[in-house]
Chains A and B, each alone.
Chain A
Amino acid sequence: MNRLAALDWIVLSGTIATIVLYGAWRSRGVRDVDSFVRGDALRWPTIGLSIMATQASAITFISTPGQGFADGMRFVQFYFGLPLAMIVVSAVFVPAYHRLKVRTAYEYLEHRFDARVRLLGGVLFLLGRGLATGITIYAPSIILSQILGWPLQATIWAMGIVVIVYTVLGGTRAVSITQKQQMIVMLAGLGVAAIVVILRLPEGVSVGGAVKIAGAVGRMDIISFGLDLTSRYNFWSGLLGGFFLQLSYFGTDQSQVQRYLGGSSVAESRLGLLFNGIFKVPMQFLILFIGVMVFVFYVFSRPPAYFDQPAMAQASAGHGAEIAALTARHDQAFEARRDAALGFLAARGTPGEDAARETLHAASTRFDDVRRDTKQVIDHALDAKTNDNDYVFLSFVLAHLPIGLVGLLIAVILCAAMSAIASGLISLGATTTVDFYLRLRQHLGRPAASSRHDLRVSQTATIAWGLVAIGFASAASLFANLIEAVNILGSIFYGTILGLFIVAFFVRRVTATPVLIGAIVAQALVVILFVASSLSYLWYNVIGCAAVVLVALVIQAVVPATRPAPRATPTDPPGAAPS
């Protein structure tokens, strides 16, 4: 079992403590619910980095290099819709939210339609984000606990409690300020990792040579223009499906909306979003590229037969002979692939280059076959679905980075986890308070309570959601394939939520009841597609959104009793628009 050195612990705990204390100090003095939820007066660099940190969970830094290692660079296409989505959110969503001075995205739905639609949007958000925040805690905890030997439950609770404390004390401002520092640590850690992995390449293997080796075995197929609807990542699914997914996430998910609503002006909010539009794709490219370079490193340096060593050890207990045979095959395949790679490098620029590339490709395919067989045996032995790629990058960090930098890279992963958890909790607390508690009190005709009382409600709701997320994370290991299930559930809901907002912004004649029916029909359609088809999940966002718009338009046209809604204005009280 790998353990951290004393210097690693100092770097790790020093980094985390400094960020948390600095954020708590800078955000002291939260006195009312508005400053807790909105965190006003943030500048665009803070907003931009906070937006990036919210989207980058620990899994981004654990799994994405593993994805580059195993599957190459093509996953970067998943983010191709993001820059265009940032432009649309900046041009359309931000002005609409600022005009009405809303505190949550779902508040806008009531201004435009009615309280039922606001409730539907809020419920869909709470369901999806509540589950996702639990997974945001669980997923890195399970990997860190297995690799570092930390107790799983202690890791989950420690991470959750720290985030709850600074989120509740400092509100949105604390979340955004800590995220800025956390993102700076993440970017620094990424840069260090990229430099170290390149320096660790064997003598005589340049960066260009490493890229050529990766290209010869299919790891550098960054873009595919083929239109295959079942292919998860290609240019078109990334651009179109990704556009709708990112538009929904950044335009309607309160965990992101809250980041830019805290801007000191509309311009600051817009520039923060566009900052993300410029730097997100290069950042994902860099993370995947690190994974590809780790792959090339292990072409020349013998990797473990399975990076998830605890799983390997458990499987060996009952299937020792099979694992030993696979390890022998792994060693032979490694040597054949290494020799083929050296042959390919020597043949570059000669007439034999094509033949050497073919030989390397075949050797790499045989090596991948051994890894696949090993995974099957381990999965069968443990009666569980393991994902070895999640362990590749952390194993490399622990085995090959200098002492001190290991602590920095673990800090990067914890920073990423904490930033995503904090955004999730503060947005869940805000939506519960603003869209449900305060709205219900208004509906019941109760007089306004003191701002201190409302602040206490927000803080209590945030704590409650934190405990729910920790509880969910603690129980997550009881369910097989839960992470995959929750990820798919999230993508199923996003199209419908986006459809509600698209109708709200662009189809003025549609009123509340048609859009509600449209949302229900669209949700049913997406669920049927999920159950009965092999369509890539990115397309659910396009189909769900389009179905809401089309069904709402048809119902609006065939039901003469419904009247067009006047456009909401900043002076309209909630519920002013007729339904």
Chain B
Amino acid sequence: MREPGHEPMSEVDRPPPFWGRWRRIYWLVAGLFAAEVVGFWLLSRWAS
């Protein structure tokens, strides 16, 4: 029996299986992309 006020969490609202919050994983993806861009820029400068 469910406790009053504790609706089952929708599957869509469930957190990721690691790192607690989806927002953190999104920041990881964006951060890795930013690091790639910086790396590409440095490599371009070094090569030329």
Contact = CB atoms under 8 A, between A and B. Distances in A.
Given A84-B30, A90-B26, A271 B16 contact: yes
B36 A282 contact: yes
Nearest to A96: B12
Contacts of A91: 22, 26
B25 A274 contact: yes
Contacts of A221: 44, 48
A76 B16 contact: no
A211 B47 contact: yes
A273 to B, nearest CB: 10
Interface string B9-48: 0011010110000100110011011001100110110111
Interface residues of B, number: 21
A277 interface: yes
A223 B41 contact: yes
B13 to A, nearest CB: 8
Interface residues of A, number: 34
Do most interface residues of chain A lie in helix, strand or loop, or is the interface mixed?
helix
Given A87-B26, A222-B40, A223-B41, A266 B12 contact: yes
Contacts of A211: 43, 46-47
A155 interface: no
A215 B33 CA distance: 23
Nearest to A77: B40
A527 interface: no
A198 interface: no
Nearest to A99: B12
11 contacts: A73-B44, A86-B29, A211-B47, A214-B47, A220-B43, A222-B43, A222-B44, A266-B11, A274-B26, A278-B29, A285-B40
B44 to A, nearest CB: 5
Nearest to A88: B26
B26 to A, nearest CB: 5
A327 interface: no
A80 B37 contact: yes
Contacts of B29: 83, 86-87, 274, 277-278
